[in-house]
């Protein structure tokens, strides 16, 4: 029996065609209030409760209930170390269903894939079989989530990274649905650009697993800087939200209005591999530990809060459509 079937009342998966020229999957989320939106962001979490995953989940539930969170965005690496083995893998319950069980987390989860997810059965995470087991679960490679106030553009970033193809080491990746790679990436970039151009939302938010800008372990992803950032800048994207680096991070840009936000502290963290940032005026916050992000939006303002594993506020800031940025650390 599906868990929380009523959740699907606010979620509508639309065909990719219709009147749109872009081929990305379209997802409609009906907000409780057309004038506001609240949600949580977590990444790099699926470790069967270990490495403080359960503790972070508990605090997410508290904050989610307090702010009236309408959904959760997962920035990928949903199941360590090697994704799911299939739709019957017990890790789906051990790392997701049984961990994120607080009342404040019984909302739709919109999940993208990370590089660790590609080491398993990708189609398993995309399968409606998992949604039948727990109706909160919605996972896709790339899609557009329309909430009215904000449009979220989920991008499958793993196939962009050359090293997974040229130097995979001992890791095996499931590239079914991706090959031929050049065509996959070309189509994805074209479709993202078209979808962004069509959008008339107040806020444009792009979500991917991999860092674009980061002073963490993985640093800047050259392939995304070269191939994705020009599309984001041309289409006046407000925020790029990612995981991959197991930290919490906020970087602005002196070259555009885009703000780069990392929420990858869902479980294992404290890597200690912190790189210097050549433009210190861009680096607003970095925390090398576990935690998560809450976001509350209206048509005039978007407010962000980073929390640690104890639910303590680490850093908060807000962005308005009039005054670009102010913060209250």
The enclosing domain of 134 has a CATH number of 3.60.21.10
Q: How far is residue 46's CA from residue 96's CA, in Å, rounded to a whole number?
A: 7
Q: What CA–CA distance (Å, rounded) separates 324 from 321?
A: 6
Please identify every residue annotated as catalytic.
Answer: 218
Q: Rounded distance, CA 227 to CA 48, Å?
A: 35
Report the share of the chain in percent with pLDDT over 90. 87
How is 103-146 classified by DSSP, letter by letter? GGG-SEEEE---TTGGGS-HHHHH-HHHHHH-TTEEE-SSEEEE
State the average pLDDT for the chain.
92
Across 127-135, average pLDDT: 98
pLDDT confidence of 41, banded at 50, 70, 90?
very high
Looking up tokens 């969170």, which residue turns up?
69
First CA to last CA distance, the chain: 45
Distance (Å, rounded) from C-alpha 178 to C-alpha 168? 16
Give percent of the chain above pLDDT 70.
91
| Tally of domains in the chain | 1
Domain of residue 308 covers 5-327
The confidence band for 327, taking pLDDT boundaries of 50, 70 and 90, is low
Residue 211 has pLDDT above 80, yes or no: yes
Taking only the tens place, the pLDDT of each residue in 62-117 is 999 999 999 999 999 999 999 999 999 999 999 999 999 999 999 999 999 999 99
Q: How many Å apart are CA 12 and CA 15, to the nearest integer?
A: 10
pLDDT digits (tens, 9 = 90+) for 241-293: 999 999 999 999 999 999 999 999 999 999 888 988 989 999 999 999 999 99
pLDDT at 89: 98
Q: What is the 3-state secondary structure (H, E, C) of 250-272?
A: EECCCCCCCEEEEECCCCCCCCC
pLDDT tens column, 141-189: 999 999 999 999 999 999 999 999 999 999 999 999 999 999 999 999 9
């Amino acid at each position: 029996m599906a868990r929380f079937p009523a959740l699907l009342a606010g979620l509508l998966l639309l065909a990719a065609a219709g009147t749109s020229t872009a081929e990305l999957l379209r997802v409609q989320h009906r907000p409780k209030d057309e004038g506001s939106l609240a949600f949580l962001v977590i990444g790099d979490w699926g470790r069967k409760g270990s490495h403080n995953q359960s503790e972070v989940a508990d605090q997410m539930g508290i904050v989610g209930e307090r702010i009236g969170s309408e959904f959760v965005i997962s920035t990928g690496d949903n199941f360590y170390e090697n994704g799911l083995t299939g739709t019957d893998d017990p890790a789906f319950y051990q790392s997701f269903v049984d961990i994120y069980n607080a009342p404040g987390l019984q909302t739709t989860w919109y999940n993208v894939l990370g590089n660790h997810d590609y080491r398993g059965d990708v189609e398993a995470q995309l399968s409606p079989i998992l949604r039948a087991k727990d109706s909160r679960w919605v996972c896709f490679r790339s899609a557009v989530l329309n909430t009215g106030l904000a449009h979220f553009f989920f991008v499958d970033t793993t196939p962009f990274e050359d090293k997974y193809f040229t130097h995979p080491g001992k890791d095996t990746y499931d590239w079914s649905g991706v090959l031929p790679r050049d065509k996959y990436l070309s189509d994805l970039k074209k479709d993202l650009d078209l979808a962004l151009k069509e959008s008339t939302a107040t806020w444009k938010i792009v979500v991917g697993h991999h860092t674009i800008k980061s002073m963490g372990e993985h640093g800047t992803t050259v392939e995304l800087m070269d191939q994705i950032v020009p599309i984001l800048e041309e289409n006046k994207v407000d925020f790029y939200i990612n995981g991959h680096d197991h930290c919490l991070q906020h970087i602005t840009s002196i070259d555009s209005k885009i703000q780069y936000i990392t929420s990858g502290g869902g479980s294992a963290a404290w890597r200690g591999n912190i790189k210097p940032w050549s433009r210190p005026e861009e680096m607003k916050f970095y925390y090398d530990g576990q935690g998560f992000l809450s976001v509350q939006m209206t048509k005039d303002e978007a407010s962000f809060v980073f929390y640690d594993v104890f639910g303590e506020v680490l850093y908060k800031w807000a962005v308005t459509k009039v005054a670009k940025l102010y913060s209250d650390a």
